Amino acid sequence: MKQNYIKIIMSEKHNLEKIKSIIARKNPETLIIESSSWQFNFKAQYLTQKLISAGWHDAKVKLSYKGNLFKVILSKKPKLKDDCPGDVQDTEGFYDPKAFRV
């Protein structure tokens, strides 16, 4: 099954309207936003917050390239498992009995 995603590398030409038009045109399931340099980290974070408030879900957020560049993976679907360590759900592949030892 082919993954439907697009990757946007932030630069000075990107703004919220341009990103939304790309999303409307391509209709991806997953969206990867990266900053092209450390100068665009704040812009990438700002656009990420706007997309999350518009209904996208953050799947993974990290700083790449020696901690200088912002990278986030957004998904239309919410996460399957909460990050709460005491919460056990019936999601296949997430249960690890060793993780709950005291």
Domain limits, the chain: 5-78
Which tops the pLDDT comparison, 23 or 87? 23
Give the span between the Cα atoms of 83 and 53, in whole angstroms: 20
78: Cβ contacts below 8 Å, ≥ 6 apart: 57
pTM of the model: 0.68
Q: Is 89 a residue whose pLDDT tops 80?
A: no
From residue 16, alpha-carbon distances to 21, 68, 73 in Å are: 9, 22, 17
Q: Is 21 a residue whose pLDDT tops 90?
A: yes
CATH of domain 5-78: 3.30.110.20
Mean pLDDT of the chain, nearest integer: 77
Q: Is 101 a residue whose pLDDT tops 60?
A: no
